Amino acid sequence: MQVVNTRCCGLDVHQKTVVACVLLTPASGQVAREVRVFGTMSVDLLALNEWLNGLGVRQVAMESTGVLWRPVYNLLEADHDVILVNAQHMKAVPGRKTASKDAEWLADLLRHGLLKASFIPPEPVRELRELTRYQATLVAERTQAVNRLHKLLEGANLKLGAVASDVLGKRGREMLEAILAGEGDPQTLAELARGRLRAKLPLLRQALDGRVQAFQRVVLRHLLDQIDFLERQLAQLVVEIEERLAPVAEAVALLETIPCVGHTAATTLVAELGDDMSRFASAKHLASWAGVCPGNKQSAGKRLGGKTTNGNTWLRAILGEVAWSIAPTSNTYLAAQ
């Protein structure tokens, strides 16, 4: 079999150790094998980097094991061509399951050019991706806290959510703060309404005729403080994200021209995909990578299944939200699809 990389290394990455196997192929064709075990602290990974440089190794391959590959990748990418391999694409040899054998198998596949690299975006995009994913996590936490607040109000016989469209709006917050202060008279609480909400005063008085207990006030106070904290964190995070969007502002603006793709969705798409689409052979390849196209499993002319791949879960989530927003629109190509 043809040798593509004469100096290459396979890494078997664990939480505490990294097993490195280097294969050196001189002109004689006799393969020299060297195996070393390194720790996963930064000083150990720098020693790994120096060892590889000393051997003249540029090509490095490792499996995408959760998040354990990231510190290794961060410290090796500057001096080496690091290939991250999907574990599903690399089948270990049966009966040879050890860390050193895994590393050697990776190195041997890399030596013959049989490994396909996973998509790793450049560092600026990876930074933006971490921020947008954390933003999505905070939004989910805020939604969870708001839902818990609604559940608490229902348990206290307060039907404010059935009358006011936004319980956490300015007037809704005033009513909640009054309840926390010990006010229980529905007439007094209803008088805090302003604007169009005053047209619903009779219904509002009934909705605010609750049975709030002391422990519910304690939980309500904690929930409101938690929501305020998460909103402050989100506001700070948005500033950080906008600063990193400057280099890809054109791509974000172009994505926003798609119906129902708002600024948040466009930012997430750029953070997950970057702005260089040349790494994907076609739109179909991109859809397959994202996990939003049917699988293909056929035998003897029969279709056995069409399950989609897992793909990029963060990208799938935002595409799903956009699709649900597009569906009820009219006079658009995407809605027709």
Quote the pLDDT of residue 322.
93
Quickly state the pLDDT bin for 91 (edges 50, 70, 90).
Answer: low
Burial of 108-144, coded b for 16+ CB within 10 Å and e otherwise, reads bbbbeeebeeeebbeeebeebbebbeebeeeeebbee
β strands within 64-160, DSSP E: 81-85
Among 176-185, 225-234, 323-332, where is mean pLDDT lowest? 323-332
Determine the Cα–Cα distance for residues 64 and 286; give it in Å rounded to an integer. Answer: 19
Helix (H) or strand (E) holding 102: helix 99-111
Decide if 264 contacts 139 (C-beta within 8 A): no
Dist. CA 110–CA 252, nearest whole Å: 37
pLDDT band for 156, please (50, 70, 90 cuts): very high
Q: How far is residue 175's CA from residue 125's CA, in Å, rounded to a whole number?
A: 44
Level-2 CATH architecture, domain 7-111: 2-Layer Sandwich (3.30)
Mean of per-residue pLDDT scores for the chain: 91
Q: For residues 233 and 194, what is the distance between their CA atoms, to the nearest angstrom?
A: 29
Q: How far from the centroid of its chain's Cα atoms is residue 334's Cα?
A: 25
Span 319-331, mean pLDDT?
A: 90
pLDDT at 140 over 70: yes
Q: What is the pTM of this model?
A: 0.85
Per-residue pLDDT, 93: 56
Residues 161, 167: contact at Cβ < 8 Å? yes
